[in-house]
């Protein structure tokens, strides 16, 4: 007979989602002639049923709405009669997170034409591909192109968020104070792609903008920083600038997440200096 002991840890993720870390400990001696190579059993949590092979630790979530006083976790063998264990989990002293704030509704704005840029040079950048800006772009146009606020844009793939980043770049260049732009991408292939595209697009603005990518060599990069109007680099090559455009920020939880987070913390620290002024438009791809 297959008998199990259970240990469970409960952690609320949101007010309507609870994560249960369940450890199953076999309380019998394994005999391949009897049990074979695996034991199948069902795990039942309230109305949730999980079917699994012989396993030691399982992690799953439940949606208790409303939150009950307790849950029963039952482990039932698929092969053996009366091979069942039950664990009581009490939610009596469970502390749930705060409720989510209400969603910010999008403004019902009219489509913006290119003439909203109020600059013929800037309008020529988009004249071949854009007649009016889309719904996401017009939501952030005021903050990016008219003001100097830091902005985070969370929007789906294909919504042309790079155009939003260009609003902030055009805002900076309209001041004509010699400041530079840094665009941060997670991979070198994306860096190269932006350099080629922006060299073509920005070649006619204010006598031509110098678009460069960093190499990772200090002496070479120092020269590029002096020459470049737009520096495109990866998080590990980040440098000081007056405007920092962070693209693909949705990858912070992935393989490239650590360099992104380290760079963001460094930039946040530098923003706190009284003598240091820079804005950060960030985009989630």
In this predicted model, what pLDDT tens digit does every residue of 203-242 receive, in sequence order? 888 888 999 998 888 888 888 888 899 999 887 776 555 5
What pLDDT is stored for residue 55 in this prediction? 47
CA distance 279 to 282: 10
CATH node for 114-264: 3.40.50.300
Task: Give the domain ranges of the chain.
Answer: 3-90, 114-264
The verdict on domain 3-90 having CATH code 2.50.20.10 is no
Over residues 130-144, the mean pLDDT reads: 91
Read off the tokens for 84: 């069942």
Burial of 283 (0-12, 13-18, 19+ CB in 10 A): buried
121-136 mean pLDDT:
88
Q: Characterize the bridge pairing of strands 151-154 and 70-77.
A: unpaired
Question: Is the pTM for the entire model greater than 0.75?
Answer: no
Residue 138, SS3 per DSSP: helix
Q: Locate 46 and state its tokens.
A: 């309230």
Cβ 229 vs Cβ 180: under 8 Å: yes
**Which parts of the chain fold into alpha helices (H)?**
32-35, 120-126, 135-141, 161-175, 188-201, 218-227, 257-271
What pLDDT is recorded for position 268?
55
Q: What is the mean pLDDT of residues 170-197?
A: 88
On the question of a common fold for 3-90 and 114-264, the answer reads no
């Amino acid at each position: 007979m297959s008998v199990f002991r259970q240990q469970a840890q409960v952690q609320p993720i949101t007010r309507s989602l609870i994560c249960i870390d369940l450890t199953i400990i076999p309380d019998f001696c394994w005999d391949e002639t009897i049990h074979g190579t695996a034991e199948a059993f069902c795990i039942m949590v309230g109305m949730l049923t999980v079917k699994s092979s012989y396993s030691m630790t399982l992690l799953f979530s439940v949606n208790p709405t409303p939150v009950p006083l307790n849950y029963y976790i039952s482990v039932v063998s698929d092969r053996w009669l009366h091979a069942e264990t039950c664990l009581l989990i009490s939610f009596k002293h469970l502390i749930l997170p705060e409720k989510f704030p209400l969603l910010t509704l999008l403004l019902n704005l009219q489509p913006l034409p290119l003439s909203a840029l109020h600059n013929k040079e800037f309008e020529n950048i988009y004249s071949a591909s854009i007649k009016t800006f889309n719904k996401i772009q017009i939501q952030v146009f005021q903050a990016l192109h008219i003001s100097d606020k830091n902005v985070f844009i969370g929007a789906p793939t294909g919504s042309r968020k790079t155009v939003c980043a260009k609003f902030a770049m055009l805002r900076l260049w309209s001041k004509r104070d010699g400041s530079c732009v840094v665009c941060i991408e997670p991979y070198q292939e994306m860096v190269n792609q932006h350099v080629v595209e922006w060299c073509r697009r920005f070649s006619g603005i204010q006598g031509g903008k110098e678009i460069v990518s960093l190499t990772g060599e200090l002496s070479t990069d120092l020269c590029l920083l002096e020459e470049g109007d737009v520096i495109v680099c990866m998080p590990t090559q980040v440098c000081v600038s007056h405007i920092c455009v962070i693209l693909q920020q949705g990858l912070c939880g992935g393989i490239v997440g650590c360099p992104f987070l380290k760079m963001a913390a460094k930039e946040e620290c530098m923003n706190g200096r009284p003598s240091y002024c820079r804005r950060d438009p960030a985009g989630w791809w």
